[in-house]
Amino acid sequence: MPSLFDPFRLGDLSLSNRVVMAPMTRSRATADGLATESVAAYYAQRATAGLLISEGIQPSAASQSTINTPGLHTPEQVAAWKQVTDAVHTNGGHIFAQLMHSGRVSHPDVTGTVPVAPSAVGVGAPIFAADFGDPTGMQPAPIPRELTTTEVADEIGVFVDAARNAVEAGFDGVELHGANGYLIHQFLSSNANQRTDAYGGSLNGRIRFAVEAAEATTQAIGADKVGIRLSPGSQLWGIEEHDVPELYAALASALAPLDLAYLHTVATAEEDVLLNMRKLWPGAFIVNPSTVINPQPSGKAEGEHWLAQGADLVSFGRNYLANPDLVERFRTGAPLAEADTATIYHGGDQGYITYPNRQH
3-state secondary structure string across 61-75: HHHCCCCCCCECCCH
Please say whether the dihedral angle defined by the alpha carbons of residues 147, 150, 156 and 161, taken in this order, is positive or negative.
negative
Q: Is 357 part of any domain?
A: no
Q: Is 356 part of any domain?
A: no
Of 42, 182, 199, 352, the catalytic one is 182
Q: Is 353 part of any domain?
A: no
The SS3 call for residue 200 is coil
- Amino acid 298: pLDDT: 87
Q: Is 273 part of any domain?
A: yes
The SS3 call for residue 132 is coil
Contact (CB, 8 A) for 157 and 216: yes
β-partners of residue 228 are: 176, 263
- Amino acid 360: pLDDT: 55
Give the CA-trace dihedral at 72, 73, 75, 79, to 10 degrees.
Answer: 0
Q: Is 348 part of any domain?
A: no
Task: Kindly report the number of other CB atoms within 10 A of residue 135's CB atom.
Answer: 8
In sequence order, what are the residues at sequence separation of 6 or more whose Cβ sits closer than 8 angstroms to the Cβ of residue 350?
343
Is 320 an active-site residue? no
* Beta-sheet strands, E only, within 187-232: 226-230
Start-to-end CA distance of the chain, whole Å, equals: 29
- H or E element, residue 15: strand 13-15
Q: Is 157 part of any domain?
A: yes
- Amino acid 125: pLDDT: 86
How many domains is the chain partitioned into structurally? Answer: 1
- Amino acid 297: pLDDT: 82
Contact (CB, 8 A) for 261 and 285: no
Task: Give residue 235's domain range.
Answer: 8-343
Contact (CB, 8 A) for 235 and 180: no
Picking from 204, 180, 194, the residue whose alpha carbon sits closest to that of residue 143 is: 194
- pLDDT tens, position by position, for the chain (360 residues)? 899 999 999 999 999 999 999 999 999 999 999 999 999 999 999 999 999 999 999 999 999 999 999 999 999 999 999 999 999 999 999 999 999 999 999 999 999 999 999 999 999 888 887 766 565 678 888 999 999 999 999 999 999 999 999 999 999 999 999 999 999 999 999 999 999 999 999 999 999 999 999 999 999 999 999 999 999 999 999 999 999 999 999 999 999 999 999 999 999 999 999 999 999 999 999 999 976 555 678 899 999 999 999 999 999 999 999 999 999 999 999 999 999 999 998 779 999 999 999 875
89-94, long-range: CB within 8 Å, 24+ apart, which pairs? 89/170, 90/44, 91/44, 91/47, 91/48, 92/16, 92/47, 92/48, 93/43, 93/44, 93/46, 93/47, 93/48, 93/49, 93/51, 93/52, 94/10, 94/13, 94/15, 94/50, 94/51, 94/52, 94/172
| Residue 272 identity (one-letter amino acid) | D
Distance CA 169, CA 189 (A): 32
- Amino acid 291: pLDDT: 62
- Amino acid 133: pLDDT: 58
Q: Is 338 part of any domain?
A: yes
State how far the alpha carbon of 333 is from the alpha carbons of 206, 325, 330, in Å: 44, 12, 5
What's the pTM? 0.96
The SS3 call for residue 303 is helix
Q: Is 349 part of any domain?
A: no
CATH classification at residue 33: 3.20.20.70
